[in-house]
Amino acid sequence: MPAGSPRERFRSLASPLRTAAGLVAGLLVLAGCASAPKPAAGPEPAFFPPPPDPPRVQFLFAITSEEDIPGFRRSLAERLAGEAETHILVRPRGVAVRDGVIYVADAKLATVLRIDLDAKRFEPIDHQGPGKLSGPLGISFDEDGVLYVADRGRRQVVAFAPDAEGRLAWSRAYGESETLLPTDVVARNGRLYVTDISDHEIEVYDIASGERVGTLGREGEDPGEFKFPSFIALGPDDTLYVTDTMNFRVQKLTLDGEPLGSYGKAGDWTGSVSRPKGVAVDDDGFVHILDAGFENAQIFLPDGRVGTFYGGYGNYPGHMYLPFEIALDKSLLPRLRDRVSPRLVPKYVILVTNQAGPHKLNVYVFGEPAAGADGGS
């Protein structure tokens, strides 16, 4: 086997599937049951997979309000006045990163919050007037820094472009509200690709003109067909990854809609999905798939086999509670490197939004085991 191949890099993750089998089975029994009693313990705190296997994912911290940002402190004047507003995440949905700043769509607040780890502040983007949001879900940026928001309430995709001072301001909207029910969006090569759960298809828009120029897929179960396509991500090779919710899979497609494969299947064991949500793909083609039923994320190898998982239902660091969307990012690493264990050589940061529970935005790091690292604490 060639050194450095995806299979070789994940060789150490074959045994975690056996080690974690009992844990995964327990998670599946609890899948989707918000009222079920929480277990007293989970995997080793902060690291996934659990011991005795070398770690690949470390949970760093969770953010729900400004006060959760590492290093946050109010000024003496703010503390004495006692009137400073604290921004919080209430019902987070989509998440994206641009230039080291985190953006989170909040459906309850009907806004997109800008989370600046350097300034240690939350602030909503300006979305008044024609840019007023109603039910923001998936969000993403294009190469020019334009933010696209799939707004289910407006039944449109709303674009916010940076102004002369770099602040995001309303630019335009895409889609006819009578026909479109968008849940997620990505941009590539002058096109927008929008998941439309009302027509079970991907709608394609020309960014410059705003016109719809085509659709991908149709309702069905065959490759390239969908039942409630709900999330979409771009792969490193200009491919699309679409969460095909009621077909219990994530499909990989060309930008023209040609099916190239799929990940996951209906079931209750490793490699299957129950309530698939957000999807993200790293530079090596490893596919992260969130599951609100199992309340975890599974990482699939490019060939479709599952490598490992992180998160899970429970009361331990890194657990998830109805996870919704995921983003992978390298620009945050310099800001968080001092929190990464020496047992891990970090490659990128993982952000996961939780729809419920006390921790609304989980922050993890993915990496290679450091030399000599094992599953011990």
- Cis ω on the peptide bond leading into residue 124 (within 30° of 0)? no
Give 10-residue mean pLDDT values along the chain (377 residues).
45 39 35 38 67 92 93 63 74 97 97 94 88 96 97 96 92 90 97 97 97 97 97 96 98 98 92 96 98 96 94 91 98 95 96 96 96 63
Model pLDDT, residue 176: 86
Model pLDDT, residue 375: 56
Nearest to 126 by CA among 112, 106, 108, 146: 112
Model pLDDT, residue 77: 56
Q: Is the pTM of this model over 0.85?
A: yes
Neighbours of 176 (CB within 10 A): 11
Model pLDDT, residue 191: 98
Residues 227 and 74: their CA atoms lie apart, in Å, by: 48
Backbone dihedral region of 220: left (phi > 0), alpha (psi from -120 to 50 degrees) or beta?
A: left
Element (H, E) at 15: helix 14-19
Residues ≥6 apart with Cβ < 8 Å to 256 = 216
Three-state SS for 339?
helix
Write out pLDDT tens, residues 151-190. Answer: 999 999 999 999 988 899 999 999 987 889 999 999 999 9
- Please identify which residue in the block is written with the tokens 């995440």: 89
Q: Which residues pair with 247 in a beta bridge?
A: none
